Amino acid sequence: MKQIDGTYRYYLEDYYSIMAIPYDYPVIGFNNNTVNTLRLWDANPKNQFDLASFNEGNYSKAVEEQNLARTLSEVLYPADEHMSGKELRLKQQYFFISATLQLALSRYKEKNSDFSLLSDKVVFQLNDTHPSMTVAELMRILMDEYGIEWDDAWEITKKCCAYTNHTIMSEALEKWPIELFSRLLPRIYMIIEEINRRFCALLIDRFGNNPDKIRHMAIVADGQIRMAYLAIVGSFSVNGVAAIHTEILKNQELKDFYDIYPEKFNNKTNGITQRRWLALCNPKLSNLITDAIGNEWITDLDRLTGLKPLAKDKAFQQKFMDIKRDNKVKLSNYIESTMGVSVDPDSIFDIQVKRLHEYKRQLLNILNIMDLYNQIKLNPNLDLEPRTFIFGAKAAAGYRRAKLIIKLINSVAAVINNDKSINSRIKVLFMENYRVSLAEKLIPAADLSEQISTAGKEASGTGNMKFMLNGALTIGTLDGANVEILEEVGKDNIFIFGATVEELINLNKSGQYAPWDIYNMNSNVRMVLTQLINGSISPEDHNLFREIYDSLLNGYGGSRADEYFILKDFDSYSDAQGRVNTAFKDKAGWAERAIINTASSGKFSSDRTIKEYVNDIWKLKPVHIK
C-alpha cells in the first residue's frame, strides 16, 4: 500500500516485466465481405538490456525476464481433460489474461469515461477455466489502475464475465495450490481471498454457520483455489455445452451453485462449421447436395432437411453411396501408401478418432474387436460384413495409461492384420498423428462413427456432429450431444447402447458394481481379458498389458476397478455392433439412414451455437455489411 494522489493504493514491486506483442490473425468470413481478427499474443522482454549497464543483481533478473518471455508464449500444454498444476502454465494464463484485459480497457477508455457502462460494450466469455483469473485481474485493473472502489468494480466485473464449462471430470477442473498462486501472483491472490470472504459471508447468511457447506462451495479451501467456482461467482452467465451436460451441471456437479444462482445457468449446445466439415473436406457430397437443394445450406444448415424426401429415392441413394465409396477408395489409397496396409473399400469403415482418454473408451472398442476376432476364429462361417476398424488419437505426453492403450490397439492390429486364416474379413488400423487435416480425410469416408464414452463423462463432443453431417451412422451412448443427435435423427437411424447416466450414478452410489461378476458369468469377456495377460497379444512380454487387466478387474494405482464401466457396457456394445452388421447388409436401408443423418444435422451448425451466444449472453445486434 502506498499513498498515490491522496489515496492509498496497492502497488507492485520486484515483479518481472513482460511486453505483450499483439498479432491479429485474420478470420475470413464466407462471402460476407468481412474479415474478423483473432488476437494472439507473443511475449517479449520489456528491457532490451545493455550488459555493461547492469550490476550483478539486475543482470540476473534481466536474464530471468528474457527466459520467462521466451517460454511464456512458446509452450502449448497438451494435457487434455487433466490438470497438472505447472508453474509456467499459471504464468502463461496470467500473461494472456492481463494483456487482453489491459488492452480492452484502454480501448474502452479512449471513447468512454464511465466504467459502469463497460458491460454495454464488452463481454469476456471465459472459455473453460483457463482464463478464469479474468475475474480477479479485471477487479485489479478497475481498482488499482482506474481507482474504482470494490463494490462498483465487483458490479462491473459480474456484468462483464460469462463462463462456459467444458467438462464434468473433476480431475480436469483447475485447482491451484495456494502456495504457488500466492507466491507468483500476490495481488491477484489477495483479491481472490476477498471475493471468497464475501462469498462465504453470503453462504453463512443463507445457510447459517455450516462448515460443510463452506468447505464444499468456498472458492479457497483445503489449500487450493477452485477456479471454476471463481468463474461462477464472478459471472452473470454459466453455460454447459450440450443439453444433458447442462442438466448434470444443474442437478449434480454444480447443484449447490444452481440453487443459489439459478438465473445464471443456461445451455449452449456446441456446433461445427459446415464450411470446413462438409464444403471443404467433402467436395463431391457438397456438389450432390447443392445440385439437389441449392447452396443455401452453406450458410443455413437447416436447409439440409430438404434432402429428407430424397432419402428413399433410389437414384439419389446410388449417388450418395457412390460418393461415400469414392471417399473410401481415396482413404484406402492414402492408408496403403502411408501405412502399407491394404483395406477393402467395400468393408464397413468403422472409425473412432478423438483424443485418447479412458472416459472415451477406445479400450471398449478394441476389446470388442478382440472378441469379434475370437468369434471368427471359432466359426469361420460367422455371418459378418467385412469391417475396417480405424483409430486415431493423440495422448498427452505424461498420460501413461493412454499410451498403453495405443500400444494395445497396435498389438491387436498386428495379430489380426497378419492372420491369413481370417481372409482379411476384419482389419485394424491405428493412424498416427491425428489432427484436423487427417480428420478431413477420415470423416468423409466413414460409415460408422464411434461415440462410446461412459455416460455422463463427455460434455458434448463435436466429432459426433462432423461424422453425422458426412452421412455416417453413429454407434453411441446416451452422452453429450449424442442425446440431441438421437432426437434429431430418430431411434431407427442411430445405434444407441449402454448404461444411462442415472444407472451409473445409482451404481456408483450403491457401491455394488462388481466387474468380477461379469468376468465370471461371461465367457467372451473372460477370454478377451485372459488374452491380455497370456501372451496372445504380446508374445514378447506377457505382462505388458497386465496393468489394463488389473484396472478392469481389481483397480490399479488407487482407482476403482473398471472406473469407466467398460465391462458393464461390453455386452450391450457387442449387441449394438451386431445390429450394425445386420443393418449394413441392407444397402438401400443403410443409404436411406445415411442420407437421413446428413439431412438431420442442421442443428449442429456452429452458426446456430454462435447465434445463441449472441442473443442470450452477449446481447449483440447484427451489423449489416454491403
Which three cell numbers mark 512? 455394488
Say if residues 28 and 89 touch (Cβ distance below 8 Å): no
Residues 599-618 that bind ligand PLP (CB under 6 A): none
| Binding track, positions 416-435, relative to ligand PLP; x by CB under 6 A | ------------------xx
Q: Which is nearer to ligand PLP, 203 or 446 (CB)?
A: 446
Q: Does 354 bind ligand PLP (CB under 6 A)?
A: yes
In the set 355, 357, 387, 401, the catalytic residue is 355
Q: Which is nearer to ligand PLP, 246 or 531 (CB)?
A: 246
Q: Which residues of 341-352 are buried (b: 16+ CB within 10 A; e: fewer)?
A: eebebebbbbbb
Site size for ligand PLP, by CB under 6 A?
Answer: 10
3-state secondary structure of 470: coil
Q: What is the largest CA-CA distance in the chain?
A: 91
Beta carbon of residue 544, minimum distance to ligand PLP (angstroms, whole number) = 27
Q: Does 240 bind ligand PLP (CB under 6 A)?
A: no
Beta carbon of residue 436, minimum distance to ligand PLP (angstroms, whole number) = 5
User: In the set 436, 521, 623, 625, which binds ligand PLP (CB under 6 A)?
Assistant: 436
Q: Which residue, among 444, 430, 501, has the nearest Cα to 472 in the 3D structure? A: 444
Q: Which is nearer to ligand PLP, 163 or 434 (CB)?
A: 434
Beta carbon of residue 33, minimum distance to ligand PLP (angstroms, whole number) = 28
- CB hemisphere CA count around 175 (13 angstroms): 14
**355: annotated active-site residue:** yes
**246: annotated active-site residue:** no
Q: Virtual CA dihedral for 254, 256, 259, 260, nearest 10 degrees?
A: -100
Q: Does 439 bind ligand PLP (CB under 6 A)?
A: yes
Please give the full DSSP string across 506-547, using - where no structure is assigned.
HHHHHT---HHHHHHH-HHHHHHHHHHHSSSS-TT-TTTTHH
In the set 187, 324, 357, 360, the catalytic residue is 360
Beta carbon of residue 462, minimum distance to ligand PLP (angstroms, whole number) = 4
| Binding track, positions 453-482, relative to ligand PLP; x by CB under 6 A | --------xxx--x----------------
Phi, psi at 63, each rounded to 5°: -65, -40
Q: By Cβ distance, which residue is nearest to ligand PLP?
A: 463
Q: Does 76 bind ligand PLP (CB under 6 A)?
A: no
- CB hemisphere CA count around 240 (13 angstroms): 26
Q: Which is nearer to ligand PLP, 98 or 464 (CB)?
A: 464
Please report, for residues 18, 58, 157, 195, 445, the alpha-carbon distance to residue 95 in angstroms, rounded to integers and kept in the order given: 8, 22, 19, 21, 42
DSSP state of 426: E
**466: annotated active-site residue:** yes
**Strand-pair partners of 34:** none
Phi, psi at 21, each rounded to 5°: -105, 120
In the set 462, 474, 477, 598, the catalytic residue is 462
| Binding track, positions 509-548, relative to ligand PLP; x by CB under 6 A | ----------------------------------------
Q: Which is nearer to ligand PLP, 371 or 450 (CB)?
A: 450
**Taking each helix axis from N to C terminus, what angle separates 546-553 and 523-533, rounded to the nearest 10 degrees?**
140
Which three cell numbers mark 282? 467433402
Beta carbon of residue 276, minimum distance to ligand PLP (angstroms, whole number) = 9
Which residues are marked as active site? Answer: 166, 354-355, 360, 462, 466
List residues binding ligand PLP (CB under 6 A). 354-355, 434-436, 439, 461-463, 466
